[in-house]
Amino acid sequence: MLNKLFKGRYSVLFSFLTVFVFISFLIRTILFIDSIGKTDFSFFGVIRIYLLGFVYDIGVGLFLTAFYSLYLLFLPDRWSNSVVNKIITYSGLFLALLISFFSFFAELTFWQEFESRFNFIAVDYLIYTYEVVNNINESYPLPLLIGGVLVMVLLIIWIFAKRRVFLGAFQSTIPFKKRIIISGTLVLIPLLYGFLLSNSFAESSTNRYENELSKAGIYSIFSAFKNNELNYNDFYSLLPEEKAYSLIRNELKDQQTTFLSSGGSIKRNIQNGGQLYKPNVIMITVESLSASFLKHFGNTQNLTPALDSLADKNLMFTNMYATGTRTVRGMEALTLSIPPTPGSSIVRRQGNENLTTIGHIFEKKGYTRTFYYGGDGYFDNMNEYFGSNGFDITDRGRNIKIGDSYLTKRTIIEDSQVHFENAWGICDGDLFDAVIQGSDADVNSGKPFYSFVMTTSNHRPFTFPEGKIGIKQGNREGAVRYTDYAISEFLKKIEKKAWYNNTVVIIVADHCAASAGKNEIDIDKYHIPCIVLNLPVKGKKVIDKLCSQIDLYPTLFSLLGWNYESNLYGQNVLNSTYQPRAVLGTYQKLAYLKKDSLVILGPQKKTETFLYRKSTNEQVPNKLSKTVINQAMANYQTAYDLFKNGGLHQ
């Protein structure tokens, strides 16, 4: 039977699988030899590497041939020797071999730099294709590389032809019932892989090299896409766990704090004292609102007259920094009050339900909670994240799955409520009208409400309703000016509501409009505005201490006199013991800024230290004290550990 498969209709498929698994074995052996001098391998560890590696390699090979398996199932016998079948077979084999050989080369070069199979760093490279292509072109002789790959692909095809592999594929006949069994099995197996064999299954050993060698590159990169994270413990400098938690607990401790347990936890009671105030809270999270757009920070284009006027009369943070460069990273900071960890935001990761979020604190105080978004909240996993953490959803979505447990309540913004819409969603003005409608309903329920509002208008393509402002559409300046206008109109409308006097409004950015600069993490491109309106104590107040997005709610709760249980890394900036600092990051690099000391942690356990000169936005390499370096490591190491091991769950 097996001999017939290698000589019959499925001959090309099985011959490709044989070549793929054999070359994967060679690649694994090369990487194994490269690792011998760097760690100790046990006999059973080596057996595990090759047995588990073979399992992953078979899965990848079957993934690559799945469509061809289906094609062979439905290909009529009379068409086996047709020109069309020959074109499809040769083209499919050429493409599969090309993908395979390029991935093999990429694995070797990736291992040279990171000593790892593909992970979220590789995913990051796929995002920043311009930089990556240029880096490869400068590091390797690209024409020779491409030419070499093409030669190897053509050589394999020539060998197949010499061994008459194609002869059986173009002449063999197999009854349809047998084809159902063969093709069905070849398609079913990779589907089962996707559901039953996680990439993390290879990570059961305490020997990291053994774990990585057991994996398959293509399987790993798809897993990285799915899980959106980079294992902090494998790629970043670590402190002893006890020391890391001791440092972070000391950073978070003040006269208002009582820790609820010892060791690996930051859970604590916060006693703010003072008069208790329980207002409604509406947070407007403005898309891409850099501090540099406001007159208060030197802008002369008059883009934000409403926000600048509000800043003159209310509480304003003038030295706050975003934790990241994407909306989901801002959402993570504003809902979890946690430093950014490698990979994508927790908003997009698995296991992010029932966390001790800011919304959870509001819930304990008796609040309803709603997430408002002008687009489809299915995007970036926003609805699932907010819904599985107790928020009701109001969005413009069309993606409704029957029986989704995370959707406690979902309200769709209907066509009749929309006056303007683009690819990202409805305009901010229409979104704010939906917020007012929802707020009226919340007030009628008899409970105070907390609303997380995410805008979209200040985003490419920068389009918005005509006739609202004196700037044309299609550019960033116009979008910023329109968002400012929409916020102004929203405030005018809610000021007429009976519930306004008992409502605090927060205006804060999710991140800046651009993050690229001369430095890998350009601190100036993380500077965001934050204004808090209608607090119990009225009037202008400026908080100019260096702080982070994660500090917003701990500071607000102190102003409201709340006592609460905290699992937050954010701190009350107004506390006399507060030590100014900010946490910032990209997918890979993690920064900790304390006064003028800047620590940047990166993969390959790399630690860089600088003196930061804010006036010129310069980062001058400098040897910093071990104290600030350890503090940076403690923040990120414990944040990763708490989420990964369930310490942030309710």
pLDDT in the model for residue 381: 87
How many alpha carbons lie under 13 Å from residue 221 in its C-beta half-sphere? Answer: 16
* Burial degree of 222 (CB within 10 A; 0-12, 13-18, 19+): middle
Task: Tell me the pLDDT tens digit for each residue of 390-407.
Answer: 999 999 986 655 445 555
Strand order from edge to edge, sheet including 268-271: 257-259, 268-271, 563-566
What does the mean pLDDT of the chain come to? Answer: 89
pLDDT in the model for residue 146: 86
Q: Which residue has the higher pLDDT, 461 or 151?
A: 151
- Cβ-contact 390, 360 below 8 angstroms: yes
Task: Tell me the pLDDT tens digit for each residue of 476-511.
Answer: 999 999 999 999 999 999 999 999 999 999 999 999
Share of the chain above pLDDT 90, in %: 62
pLDDT in the model for residue 359: 97
pLDDT in the model for residue 101: 93
Q: Where are the domains of the chain?
A: 2-227, 241-644
How sure is the predictor about 218, in pLDDT bands with cuts at 50, 70 and 90? Answer: confident
How sure is the predictor about 567, in pLDDT bands with cuts at 50, 70 and 90? Answer: very high
Residue 100: other Cβ atoms inside 10 A:
23
Residue 517 has pLDDT above 70, yes or no: no
Helix ranges, 532-646 (H): 552-559, 626-644
Using the Cα atoms of residue 325, residue 331, residue 337 and residue 340 in order, give the sign of their dihedral.
negative
Residue 108: other Cβ atoms inside 10 A:
14
pLDDT in the model for residue 4: 56
Nearest to 230 by CA among 647, 526, 648, 590: 590
Enter the DSSP assignment of 520.
S
State the Cα angle at 272 between 266 and 278, rounded to 5°.
Answer: 110
Of 125-129, 340-344, 369-373, least confident by mean pLDDT is 125-129
pLDDT in the model for residue 262: 87
pLDDT in the model for residue 79: 87
Residue 67 has pLDDT above 60, yes or no: yes
Enter the DSSP assignment of 550.
G
Q: CA-to-CA distance for 164 and 184, rounded, in angstroms? A: 26
Task: Tell me the pLDDT tens digit for each residue of 12-64.
Answer: 999 999 999 999 999 999 999 988 988 888 899 999 999 999 999 999 999 99
Residue 244 has pLDDT above 70, yes or no: yes
pTM value? 0.76
Choose the most confident range, by mean pLDDT, from 124-133, 393-402, 589-598.
589-598
How sure is the predictor about 135, in pLDDT bands with cuts at 50, 70 and 90? Answer: low
How sure is the predictor about 408, in pLDDT bands with cuts at 50, 70 and 90? Answer: low
- What are the residues facing 283 on neighbouring strands? 452, 506
Nearest to 115 by CA among 223, 40, 208: 208
Average pLDDT over residues 97-106: 91
Share of the chain above pLDDT 70, in %: 92
Q: Decide if domain 241-644 falls under CATH 3.40.30.10.
A: no
Nearest to 372 by CA among 283, 447, 306: 283
